Structure 1
């Protein structure tokens, strides 16, 4: 990476940016509706092809939408490891959410479903490439942009694609919205997802209650044990998010299930907690437990990755030249999970680079308009200076 140089481009005006962004937001794209996601993919593909980029469409699988791999016009046949921008176009908002959170601007904020998580960051990738093309500029390294369709549900169908592009990359810039106050992410907690299935012994709840072994009662014991594994001082959380069980009010339940979410700050914590969850034992006699799942995204920290620290320092220097102080989340606390974690074994990663707002995943989701230009300009300067 080089020093900040002169002649770097500025980003689009907020007005021009929002005109294009709102066209993407208007195409609702819940993960669960591949047809809707693909309508947005059609628009995004057309936008990029309109500025001369090469677009590869990767067909969706397992009931998910397609993915896009966009390559800058100047990449050519270069085998050099380059810069990859990573974004997702799916949202958590069901079709019809536009009626609850219509596209509009009020008091310095732009509104719409998915605008903060993460269509603004996704659109920033397009605008950055368009600015370079319009000004006849190129980047020192090959530039690739990856859009996936299933990030909100764990990226099961896109993980292999993301990893393949990460292996071709020297740096990966993830355009998720920044965390509070505009912080970028240089460390992330690991994430594991498990399903716990309990099988008891069914019986009539009146005449044969003693013969039964309640799966629901056993699940209650396990929920208390799992939630008790949370250790805020260590940054470890275990959450039981969904439960179900039983067949009828007058039957001792034979079946019960729960979903488990585990977050850990280090690999040592991951190994410990995985062993504890996968080693759960029943409290009730004659009841069996089945635990399935595992680590979905692995933890990393800036302290353990000098290349990530160097990338952040470079970005912070660029931000200072633009006129703002770029801060990060060095502990990973509050960072959540990201597709950038699939890339960290292969490349340096800087996450949370998008414009930002708030109320993500709600019907009040918004983007702070004032963040568009500085965050977009930082992205452009990174593309022009990373080597």
Structure 2
């Protein structure tokens, strides 16, 4: 039998297949755009002979895809490939960040986070099917539309599906050293609103109470609470419509990351303590979606890492494993205690920026890793 690591993975073929994925822009808040991406992927998975289910979106967000891959025991719980198809880049980003290869670098919105990894793992399944090689366990693929905003609409779907499986693979981008993630810090989001009193900014400035000024004062307070182990960042700020009006409403969003659940709980208390309606300007803080701590060193996950490192050694690299900040849907499966290997996707830099790119040689490297995992997990 052909060694799965020796399957004919081809860099140029993979780049050609990736191009339409990247040029189908899919920012989270544009449900129609996300669904165009899901259309494309649904067709590709159906072509592989998968039984594909389209799960309608909710909360105004896009759809999800669940695909049961061909296997003698298809439908039984085995390996779950879990990824998201939404990106942080608005439609039109291709004009500034086109899909383009320059030597060992290839750029494009969402290429690193995480369409590249999703594509590579599907390509591994494609090559295994073409070679007539069964995966060690049945494989289910679940692609979701809302990871970049904390997975508000699909967390329950992810958790329910994950509980049916023995192993979870999350091809988020690799860590800077190429290693995997075996635990993740907790993430909490907060929605803030200040409400003041409007007035004409030129005619009667003193009569107004600026919601913008109050929120700006709190930006310094909130980001000043940051420590090495628990961070706070104001990432969204919306207010004002007319420059000649004192703004009466200002909205903001805050992201907090903590290395332990205890630190996150303390950070949540600090944020909620900012609620204040005693003055002329009201400050309201509401807790948003949360990603729980995924504690590292769980036996099932560490066994997956050992296997991944064994496969990596045969390919020619070393696979390290560490906890990491930056949430993913692996937080949910890891928190449930399910064996989860995260950040096993492509290598690159600049995710969430206009320099987002991957290292082209990581495409074949990671496809071989994927083929090895798909054929050895559970054996």
Instruction: Tell me the TM-score normalized by structure 1.
Output: 0.88
- SS of the counterpart of 2:322? coil
Q: Equivalent residues in 2 for 1:79-118 (5 A)? A: 79=76, 81-118=77-114
For structure 1, which segment, 240-249 or 219-228, has the greater mean C-alpha deviation from structure 2 after superposition? 240-249
- Residues 152 and 289 of structure 2 are in contact (CA less than 8 Å); yes or no, is this contact kept in structure 1? no
Instruction: Tell me the matched-pair count.
Output: 376
Instruction: Sort the Cα spacing of 1:24 and 1:245 in 2 relative to 1 into closer, same or farther, 3 A.
Output: closer
1:368 equivalent to 2:368? Answer: no
- SS of the counterpart of 1:315? helix
> Following TM superposition, by how much is the alpha carbon of 1:213 offset from its aligned partner in structure 2, in angstroms?
4.6
> Following TM superposition, by how much is the alpha carbon of 1:222 offset from its aligned partner in structure 2, in angstroms?
2.4
Partner of 2:291: 297
Partner of 1:288: 282
1:23 equivalent to 2:20? Answer: yes
- Residues 74 and 139 of structure 2 are in contact (CA less than 8 Å); yes or no, is this contact kept in structure 1? no
> Following TM superposition, by how much is the alpha carbon of 1:38 offset from its aligned partner in structure 2, in angstroms?
2.2
Q: Equivalent residues in 2 for 1:1-387 (5 A)? A: 7-11=3-7, 12-74=9-71, 76=73, 78-79=75-76, 81-202=77-198, 213-232=209-228, 235-245=229-239, 253-282=247-276, 285-303=279-297, 305-330=298-323, 332=324, 335-344=325-334, 345-387=336-378
2-structure distance, mates of 1:364, 1:253: 35
Structure 1 unaligned blocks of 5 or more: none
Structure 2 unaligned blocks of 5 or more: none
> Following TM superposition, by how much is the alpha carbon of 1:95 offset from its aligned partner in structure 2, in angstroms?
2.7
Q: CA RMSD in A?
A: 2.6
- SS of the counterpart of 2:132? coil
What CA deviation, in whole Å up to 9, does each residue of 1:74-130 have, x standing for no partner? 164654x31111112222233333333333321212232222111111111211111
What CA deviation, in whole Å up to 9, does each residue of 1:207-266 have, x standing for no partner? 87666554344334422221121012xx21101222344576666553333211111111
Instruction: Tell me the TM-score normalized by structure 2.
Output: 0.90
1-structure distance, mates of 2:347, 2:174: 6
